[in-house]
Structure 1
């Protein structure tokens, strides 16, 4: 049948794993639609082969200040070569899907540039570019789902299904799984997923917010010989909490699924050369290791989970419910059932017991997402805190319409770590680039844990003897001065010794709420003087409305204190952004 299938290459650029996940979904659906071909990171693909391709789908995210993900940088650099003929990709038909966040100025910047460059080299777009937005009420899926659906309509029109083949076939699991009664002992050392991961010992795990405060924020200090610079981020590979792993094992036990036990040996084998087994699964592992360290048990399930359950459940009621949730008309219902209450995959398995009892183990690797690394801005100075690396951690716990509180996987696991425990971590270059000239004034806006990268930068300046209140201005904000003024003693000491200018905004310490943007506007005369001196501006913290509100506040300063018109002020800030003098690092 293979020679009757049509070739489709799928390439992704992914920083956190989301774009890879979408690319693998398209690859899986390509099999159902009788296409064949690989799914690869762009830098794992031989870019010189692109001139021989007829059909390629690109999925990419944007990271940092409009930068390419690490695993597509080489690919992109090659495409930018000036000596490439303008018709070098004339035989290529392509589609680009971008995953982005509209709270960033350069929203889906990479996808837009890639689409333009491919057309500039003579390639022909199959359909309009897809620009998914994490800030949408329905998340990225609001664009991804209809875009992918339209993609198949276009492809099956341009490249009709060969005669004799069904229009759609339910896909096999991506890998084959063998189980063995030759048990493996659980190994606490199975932590390193990649060569660049190091094990670092926990030195301090200390709460820094008031014990009565609703938000548990911690400083975690690790013993480390890792090399890093201010602005870099620490990637942490978390594990599931023990109770979550036990819950999954209990579900499997209740259904006596394949007579599995926690120490049953699993060997994962490739089913298709186009979908190799990842390094983390290349050696036999136990079911317990999988439940604790590989599968993300806190993740909200994707639509494909319900397609799998629909295919295997023996209950007509469950089948009907799954069919509703996977239909185009049922996407709002799926959002209400899964995304809005943040219902986890474990809770869904409990809600569909007949499906859970009949799903083959190999499909669990399709239903469960692998645990991804989480990124934290490094809060320590490599010079001032030699031999250590610090992060600020806000423990995520919140309530939805479900009875049980929602717990962030990584933050709650980190909060549970004890002194002398070891974490699997790696350092990645961050999006912030600080000025090398230590006389350049710097304004740092860091509400909440957004202050972390500025602690790194300021302490580096203090260590070098170049910190002073004329060049370092920190604007910090949170709810209460006494409850959540992160690292207050450090900032106050630096302020009193003339090494830092400090402005604060505490939203709940007075009847009317005051945020960092209000302080910027209130201190417009001071802020404008810094702008006149050619300062660099950095904004870090929770996405939501903060970044745009802060930007608007700087525009107000230029208007009120500088006398600029509205458009002039906006152009001034836009110019700073374009030249890397106004940088933003936010997270959802």
Structure 2
């Protein structure tokens, strides 16, 4: 009998595709299939020729781009020299997750499906296109598609004699077992964020702990929006960047939330533990030290401030000893309850921690072993770099708008990363932020004679500040910036800097302060007013135009 094994590969930018892939993994276990769930770039693509059955779960990001954790796979798969029948033994299915308000809706899933067909693979089902815009979200497509998928898979790989599908009412074992160490066991002083000279350029698995040099508010105190210009010391990091590149920052939960979480779940923050995979062959979470403290796990790893997904409530229902709470949790995890879940969670942006407060009987019964199944890891956040290495090779700056807004919940919503960054005070000692750099999508012209027109309202001006610093250092003129904000006196970031460059003839600057006069004025009005200059730069100067914000 053919070996009953399934490989689930995901390309995920925000975690939704990974969450869906893990759901498929759980459903495979209920059908007694040997199943691995991996990011596409973690899997050795050359081994695909030995895989009998693969399900691909892929998001589409940006303008039809593959997520970061499948870019190497994508490049490999589209190599011209791959033989046409190289995947003829592979049965596969592709599930796409996208948003139909974008022109390249589910572009990655469609293109992947087509390429696998070209390489001779056999589709079990037509490609599924989950849509965020649907009233019930992507699950409106995912649920019926999965039902059809399991029918196909069980026809090819029937259940072994004497085995039945494990009922959805039965709780599956956790991915890891958490073993507490005796309180008196010796523990070496290990701080993951010791700044060390890296062997290679910093990356997600090995970030650089950059010292915060300054954290300056660049909007007036009376202005509703708090925007920060934050400077990091990157000396000795091996980091290099150019204008248009992006810095990835790994944030952490605030101490109050960590304390509340530990109290709710009756966890002792300073207890140390080691993780052991339940199934042999499962790798340990790469970003967690072994041994680790509960405090470190909750501060640096568990995303307790994210909006919980359907899978969170599904698993939570298993721990509930309270009938009312269990009924509600089961409703939230059912296909019929998705509209209600959206109103409870997504619309008001309720956090995982707040949802746990609403189910106190259940929360205090959560076994620590299941924490990593229940709560996803904190994802890094991307910021455009707002400075040039040519201005200072040992420093990097970012412009951060602190996210804060109201929903129907009494407590204002706060962005995890921007709030944490704004709270850092370098005057209170050695404050460090784990970060690494990624190539950005914005490339500035190599020819020094090519003028650039940059349109950057608000914090969208960040990459253009880097570009202008870079071009000025290289002696390039032809820098034209359209900048927009609300008030000249309140949120005109880097005003003095721009004005100095204008005086020196190194920058042409047009500003639009939308609220400083009765009729609102935006950057598009300034572009129209200066249409002749813009046209001249485009037609005779071959200017490049950039827009951010």
TM-score, normalised via structure 1 length: 0.83
- Rate the CA distance shift 1:418–1:63 in 2: closer, same or farther, 3 A: same
Q: Is the 8 A contact 2:192 2:289 kept in 1?
A: no
Q: 1: CA distance between counterparts of 2:528 and 2:227?
A: 28
SS of residue paired to 2:434:
strand
Query: In the alignment, which residue of structure 2 is the partner of 1:481?
Result: 488
Query: In the alignment, which residue of structure 1 is the partner of 2:348?
Result: 341
* Residues 1:316 and 2:323 aligned together: yes
Structure 1: state its 5+ residue gaps.
Answer: 254-259, 542-588
Query: In the alignment, which residue of structure 2 is the partner of 1:430?
Result: 440
- Rate the CA distance shift 1:474–1:33 in 2: closer, same or farther, 3 A: farther
- CA distances 1:39-87 after superposition (whole Å, capped 9, x unpaired): 1222322222222323211123445654444433332233223333323
* Residues 1:332 and 2:332 aligned together: no
* Residues 1:276 and 2:271 aligned together: no
Q: Which stretch shifts more, 532-541 or 361-370?
A: 532-541
Q: 1:536 aligns with which of 525, 544, 548?
A: 544
Q: Is the 8 A contact 1:303 1:325 kept in 2?
A: yes
- CA distances 1:547-580 after superposition (whole Å, capped 9, x unpaired): xxxxxxxxxxxxxxxxxxxxxxxxxxxxxxxxxx
Q: 1:295 aligns with which of 292, 302, 307?
A: 302
Q: Which runs of 4+ in 1 moved over 6 A?
A: 184-188
Q: Is the 8 A contact 2:273 2:294 kept in 1?
A: yes
Query: In the alignment, which residue of structure 2 is the partner of 1:583?
Result: none
- CA distances 1:194-246 after superposition (whole Å, capped 9, x unpaired): 55311111111000001011100000001113211111111111111111111
Query: In the alignment, which residue of structure 1 is the partner of 2:359?
Result: 352
SS of residue paired to 1:355:
helix
Q: 1: CA distance between counterparts of 2:377 and 2:49?
A: 34
Q: Is the 8 A contact 2:265 2:366 kept in 1?
A: no
Q: 1:83 aligns with which of 76, 81, 84?
A: 81
Q: Is the 8 A contact 1:5 1:34 kept in 2?
A: no
SS of residue paired to 2:337:
helix
Q: 1: CA distance between counterparts of 2:330 and 2:60?
A: 34
Query: In the alignment, which residue of structure 1 is the partner of 2:137?
Result: 142
Q: After TM superposition, list the pairs within 5 Å mapping 1:43-54 onto structure 2.
A: 43-54=41-52
Q: Which stretch shifts more, 32-41 or 293-302?
A: 32-41
How many positions carry a matched residue from both structures? 526
Q: Is the 8 A contact 1:13 1:19 kept in 2?
A: yes
Q: Is the 8 A contact 2:288 2:297 kept in 1?
A: no
Q: 1: CA distance between counterparts of 2:308 and 2:412?
A: 17
Q: 2: CA distance between counterparts of 1:4 and 1:313?
A: 39
- Rate the CA distance shift 1:102–1:499 in 2: closer, same or farther, 3 A: farther
- Rate the CA distance shift 1:37–1:45 in 2: closer, same or farther, 3 A: same
* Residues 1:397 and 2:404 aligned together: yes
Query: In the alignment, which residue of structure 2 is the partner of 1:557?
Result: none
Query: In the alignment, which residue of structure 2 is the partner of 1:151?
Result: 145
Q: 2: CA distance between counterparts of 1:85 and 1:76?
A: 16
- Rate the CA distance shift 1:281–1:386 in 2: closer, same or farther, 3 A: closer
Q: Which stretch shifts more, 240-249 or 118-127?
A: 118-127
- CA distances 1:79-137 after superposition (whole Å, capped 9, x unpaired): 22333332322332322233446676655443332222112212233334344566x38
Q: 2:450 aligns with which of 427, 435, 440?
A: 440
Q: Is the 8 A contact 1:37 1:274 kept in 2?
A: no
- Rate the CA distance shift 1:437–1:18 in 2: closer, same or farther, 3 A: farther
Q: 1: CA distance between counterparts of 2:522 and 2:128?
A: 35
Structure 2: state its 5+ residue gaps.
Answer: 195-202
Q: 2: CA distance between counterparts of 1:335 and 1:229?
A: 41
- Rate the CA distance shift 1:69–1:421 in 2: closer, same or farther, 3 A: same
Query: In the alignment, which residue of structure 2 is the partner of 1:235?
Result: 248
Q: Is the 8 A contact 1:268 1:282 kept in 2?
A: no
Q: Is the 8 A contact 2:31 2:164 kept in 1?
A: no
* Residues 1:95 and 2:93 aligned together: yes
In the TM superposition, residue 483 of structure 1 has moved relative to its aligned partner by 1.2
Query: In the alignment, which residue of structure 2 is the partner of 1:266?
Result: 273
Q: Is the 8 A contact 1:12 1:42 kept in 2?
A: yes
Q: 2: CA distance between counterparts of 1:105 and 1:231?
A: 24
SS of residue paired to 2:364:
helix
Q: Is the 8 A contact 1:241 1:413 kept in 2?
A: yes
- CA distances 1:174-200 after superposition (whole Å, capped 9, x unpaired): 211112332677978234895531111
Q: 2: CA distance between counterparts of 1:6 and 1:146?
A: 28
Q: Is the 8 A contact 2:247 2:435 kept in 1?
A: yes
In the TM superposition, residue 432 of structure 1 has moved relative to its aligned partner by 1.1
In the TM superposition, residue 339 of structure 1 has moved relative to its aligned partner by 0.8
Q: Greater helix share, 1 or 2?
A: 1
Q: 2: CA distance between counterparts of 1:104 and 1:528?
A: 29
Query: In the alignment, which residue of structure 2 is the partner of 1:248?
Result: 261
Query: In the alignment, which residue of structure 2 is the partner of 1:565?
Result: none
Q: 2: CA distance between counterparts of 1:432 and 1:176?
A: 44
Query: In the alignment, which residue of structure 2 is the partner of 1:567?
Result: none
In the TM superposition, residue 315 of structure 1 has moved relative to its aligned partner by 1.1
Q: Report the aligned-residue RMSD.
A: 2.5
Query: In the alignment, which residue of structure 1 is the partner of 2:517?
Result: 510
Query: In the alignment, which residue of structure 1 is the partner of 2:191?
Result: 189
Q: 1:120 aligns with which of 98, 118, 121?
A: 118
In the TM superposition, residue 307 of structure 1 has moved relative to its aligned partner by 1.1
* Residues 1:495 and 2:495 aligned together: no
Q: 1: CA distance between counterparts of 2:150 and 2:61?
A: 33
- Rate the CA distance shift 1:538–1:66 in 2: closer, same or farther, 3 A: farther
Q: 1: CA distance between counterparts of 2:43 and 2:67?
A: 15
Q: Which stretch shifts more, 434-443 or 391-400?
A: 434-443
Query: In the alignment, which residue of structure 2 is the partner of 1:579?
Result: none
